[in-house]
Structure 1
Amino acid sequence: MTTNAPWQLSRRALIAGGLGIAATSLLAGCDTVTRSTDVTAINKAVALPDYVPWTGGPEPVLPKTSALMPSAFRKIPSSLVPTAKVPGDGSTLHGSVPTNSPVPPAKGSNPYWQGLDKRMGVDLDLTITPNADWGNKFATQVAGDTLGDVFTVFGTFSYLPQFLEAKAQNLTEYLSGSGIREWPYLANLPTASWKGTVFSGGIYGVPVPRGPLTTGVLHRRQDLFEELGVDPSFGSLDEFTALCREVTDQNKNRWALGSVPTNILASMLGVPNQWDEQGGKLTHMYEVDAYQDMLEVSRKLLADGLVHPDSVTAYNGKVWFVQGSAVMLQDSYSAIPGLLQQAEPGSGFAMTMAPFVGPAGAKPKPWLGDPNNAITALAAASEDRIRTVLDVLNWCASPFGTEAWMFRKFGIEGRDFEYRDGAPVLTKTGNSETALGEFPLQYFTECPLPLFYSGFPGMTDTVYESLASWLDDGITNPTYGLYSPTNSTKGPAVGTYATNAINDVLLGRAPVSSWKGVVREWRRRGGDAMRREFEEASAARAGS
């Protein structure tokens, strides 16, 4: 969520609005709805699953400088760890998942999907929905009770805890504490990710982890900087602005930035990651003076023509970056494989990441991305059925270095991929059948993302060095994993109000000085209530 430009509504916020009506209708007769404002009960803690790092695969090629550092690899190991067993029982497993990639061919014409069935031991029946349509589709499935056995759940929609209590299996007895050890690949998922699955004193899902790679960073077209003879480094806000001016040439369809780089500016100006917590009290980023400073800098970048002119109305930053019309792009670390894949072979495309810069020379404290993309819920079922589904999810979380991971990402050798210079590369068929290597099975769950870029071994070192420079200084959103009823029910509308006001400032329709009045209204419409509830939720989680 933190990779968006200041004026962009997150996809999850849009989803939240579409699901509110469906969730409210579904739960109208459920006892759990009576607890919809019981912040303490909803945020009651539970013993999280033990964290047991998996050690059965290849050794990372670079040291773990931080507990948050992903394992780093430059190549596929010559010997893969075999799958211990086929996890399924031959039954049909219905699932509902979103996708960011093109929807893959149906199973009947997709040997890769058929191979998944064989390896997983199930008849995998997926309802796959493009992200743009996910909110409406999910709402329809909720209303029709057709979500299936396993379904992706994003973190913000109305009555989320009550929805999960009514429709999902409480997994606490299976996964809490040492129980997780029955599923070693799930036990390999970090503790921070499990925090996003806890509601009403229970574990109601399995993480879809992304770890620190969700963090927004400033990607640079290193090849273009070299072609222009420009040093891409900067050590202050003024130097950054000067750099943007130096590389922008509108006559050549080239702009410095694909969008206003919120995360980069936040680090430079000391803006908190959504909320700042001090002594149990919360202050929202909108309320600090540094946020207004960030609006002024953002407004000026746009007014001076240093940002792609379509960034507000028709954002397509990844394409602009690959094509060269945006020399720098703020996006997550997890976007790197897709950017590399989009680049034209032989074009000389080369990318690096700009170091974060702190305010007035102070140590930078970047916004650390949320640990999960989403969570996956299981429909309530018998104990045998739940254990079978968890076996399947455990297979889905098999890490880098296993046969299962290799098949999930690359499919069938000679059909979906071929080796080039020792690295697996997807074919045209493979791109289609595996959904660009991101088959939506990854929204069931996934292993902690490694630093591995097939065919680009040097990128592993580039990303590793970037992460190592700041990872232990990154600041988290202190409300992650906590539930505020006001944020759930009013958050999308309040967010739209703030976003519209931000747009007005950035596009010159309102002065930056109007922001203080916006903040007062934001507080009145729900900001203060969210603050109180998150503070109560934090106390409940800590004191349980």
Structure 2
Amino acid sequence: MHLSRRSFLRAAGATAAVTAVPSLAACSDGGKPGAVPTGAAVPWPAYVPAKGPAPDLPGTPQSQAGYTAYPSSVASTGQPAPGDGSTVRAWVISYGAPPKPAASNQFWQAINKALNINLELTIVPNADYPAKVQTLVAGNELPDLICVFSGYGLPRDTQFLPAQCADLSEYLSGDAVKTYPNLANIPTYAWQGMGRIGGHLYGVPIERSPSPSTLFINDNALTAAGYTGAWSRDQFTTVAKALSGNRKYALGGSTDTQLLYNFHAAAHGAPNTWRLDGGKFVSTFETPEFKAAVGYMRDLWQAGVYHPDSVTISTANIQTQFFAQSVAAIFGNIGSAAPMITGVNGAFDVNLAQLYTGAGGTPAAWGGGGLFGYTAMKKAAPDRIKMLLRVLDFLASPFGTKEYELFHYGVEGAHFTRSSTGAPTPTPLWTGGENAVTLPVKYLSDAPGVLYFPGLPAEKLTRLFDWQRTAVKNVTFDPTRGMKSATQASQGLTIYKLITDGLIGVVTGRTPLSAWDETVKNWKRSGGDTIAGEYAQYAAANN
């Protein structure tokens, strides 16, 4: 696993539906561009935490609980198989190679048996998702379950979902969700991150930690250069310069992470994507704090601390440079920490950086949206909807259960064995391709995350937990998370490219810092102001 374009797009608030699909005949708003259906908002689903093994490191509402060891006792939830033996067709994003067919895939067969359905998957590679999702919503036939990745979203979702997908409000809002105890275990912030349309619920979120993104750092190299875990902007500059030279660089950007701008913007006190000011939404791009961050990034580039390919290299390749110690810091988040730590094979210690201070504004880490995405359902009879909800509920069985173990580690004896401490240890069948990456049912429904990584030493897990606990003390969230904007859905990425092109031009010295103001004005004229207005309209109608 590595950081990909999805993390960056989510942080940037962009969606990759680059062109609009034809208007749907049954649109709830009559197809009026930019309109959002309105209605009385149903309550968010009740939050009822699952009972399970007590964590070694208790979490908070904004940070995950940690387990330094695998639970000594893993029991079944006791829930019966949720399905009715029918075929369930699902459309899901993927970040891995295609799986073996179900007929020769023990993992797939075990999932079908546990769920008591015949799960037929249309697996869409991440790179193909933007084009494929437009084809899906423009077509005449939908699968039963649709994985909507939050980084890309659905084109014209405020029209498509009410017209074509099931309103799940009566099944999930308020105490109704308690019929599905594992869905009730999903924290409220994930439902809020998914949002409502016309005040109603049209999906089940796949929770992710709202912990902020940051920098993965080579702790040994940074410590030798003077890093102590807390630093001012001047100290950041000193350390970065000390680590750069002789074809080594302090910072490694990529085509996904755009020169690590959200780390620097957060350190300068820029708002997380948007700022709500008296009912008006103001983009982070038009704030003086963000412009100050751009100016500082320009200074860093001129000082030679960025890898020179930081605007053209892929995330995978800059990660390779990090492993090879050619760069000392790259963009990251806690969700991808374990593979980063193990990926260096002990060559150095990987840590997560806190924001620097003294940049003029108050540093405020940018929290995440609280979800990977959500799963919508095509309209169907109530009994069918209830069965599909039971399937999603079963897939969301919590950590410390036999069901969770199956969906995340496979079949014991075939896909994993147990270490001396009881931790799942993958077999060659799992590492060879029959696993939860190639068969991504976790992107249909999943348990809320915890900090536990098989094989990761306790002290490294504790370090991640300690970083998270500190980082969330001063965290801000995008005030538009969960809100809907038709212009953002149809044109967001197109006009966002104006920002990234302008940012790269200024930071790399191709244009002066003063050119940033015109970049922002162009973005606002091209749709940014419309998006802000639609968010304000949504907020007024749904709060």
Q: TM-score, normalised by structure 2?
A: 0.90
1:83 equivalent in structure 2: 77
Q: How many residues align?
A: 526
1:393 equivalent in structure 2: 392
Matched, 1:440 2:440: yes
From 202, 205, 208, give the equivalent of 2:203: 205
Offset of residue 236 of structure 1: 1.1
1:118 equivalent in structure 2: 113
2:136 equivalent in structure 1: 141
Contact 1:43 1:482 in 2 (8 A): no
Contact 2:484 2:538 in 1 (8 A): yes
| Counterpart amino acid of residue 163 in structure 1 | F
Contact 2:94 2:437 in 1 (8 A): no
User: Relative to total residues, which structure has the larger helix share, 1 or 2?
Assistant: 1
1:368 equivalent in structure 2: 367
1:216 equivalent in structure 2: 213
Alpha-carbon distance in structure 2 between the residues aligned to 1:12 and 1:480: 9
2:256 equivalent in structure 1: none
State the secondary structure of the residue aligned to 2:459: helix
Post-superposition Cα deviations, 1:36-57, rounded to whole Å, max 9, x if no partner, equal: 45746348622111111112x1
From 175, 178, 181, give the equivalent of 1:181: 178
Alpha-carbon distance in structure 1 between the residues aligned to 2:528 and 2:197: 22
| Counterpart amino acid of residue 65 in structure 2 | S
2:149 equivalent in structure 1: 154
Offset of residue 242 of structure 1: 1.3
Contact 2:269 2:361 in 1 (8 A): no
Alpha-carbon distance in structure 2 between the residues aligned to 1:42 and 1:341: 48
Q: TM-score, normalised by structure 1?
A: 0.90
Distance 1:470 1:102, change over 3 A: same
Post-superposition Cα deviations, 1:305-353, rounded to whole Å, max 9, x if no partner, equal: 3222222112223333233222212212111133245343xx3443111
Distance 1:341 1:255, change over 3 A: same
Segment drifting more, 155-164 vs 473-482: 155-164
Distance 1:536 1:197, change over 3 A: closer
Alpha-carbon distance in structure 1 between the residues aligned to 2:250 and 2:359: 23
| Counterpart amino acid of residue 492 in structure 2 | G
Distance 1:103 1:363, change over 3 A: same
Alpha-carbon distance in structure 2 between the residues aligned to 1:82 and 1:4: 34
Alpha-carbon distance in structure 2 between the residues aligned to 1:436 and 1:242: 43
- Structure 2 unmatched ranges of 5 or more: 254-258
Distance 1:342 1:112, change over 3 A: farther
2:260 equivalent in structure 1: 261
Segment drifting more, 491-500 vs 204-213: 491-500
Alpha-carbon distance in structure 1 between the residues aligned to 2:357 and 2:214: 14
State the secondary structure of the residue aligned to 1:469: helix
2:97 equivalent in structure 1: 102
From 238, 242, 245, give the equivalent of 1:242: 238
Distance 1:412 1:340, change over 3 A: farther
Alpha-carbon distance in structure 2 between the residues aligned to 1:194 and 1:434: 31
Alpha-carbon distance in structure 2 between the residues aligned to 1:38 and 1:516: 26
| Counterpart amino acid of residue 248 in structure 1 | S
Matched, 1:503 2:515: no
State the secondary structure of the residue aligned to 2:114: helix
Offset of residue 371 of structure 1: 1.0
State the secondary structure of the residue aligned to 2:312: coil
Offset of residue 145 of structure 1: 3.6
Contact 1:197 1:205 in 2 (8 A): no
2:530 equivalent in structure 1: 529
- Structure 1 unmatched ranges of 5 or more: none
Alpha-carbon distance in structure 1 between the residues aligned to 2:70 and 2:459: 14
1:453 equivalent in structure 2: 453
Matched, 1:54 2:53: no
Alpha-carbon distance in structure 1 between the residues aligned to 2:160 and 2:434: 32
Distance 1:13 1:266, change over 3 A: closer
Alpha-carbon distance in structure 1 between the residues aligned to 2:501 and 2:364: 28
Contact 1:93 1:125 in 2 (8 A): yes
State the secondary structure of the residue aligned to 2:16: helix
Post-superposition Cα deviations, 1:462-491, rounded to whole Å, max 9, x if no partner, equal: 121111113142101001111123323332
| Counterpart amino acid of residue 399 in structure 2 | F
Where do residues 307-322 of structure 1 align in structure 2 (5 Å cutoff)? Answer: 307-316=306-315, 317-322=318-323
Distance 1:340 1:118, change over 3 A: farther
Offset of residue 211 of structure 1: 2.5
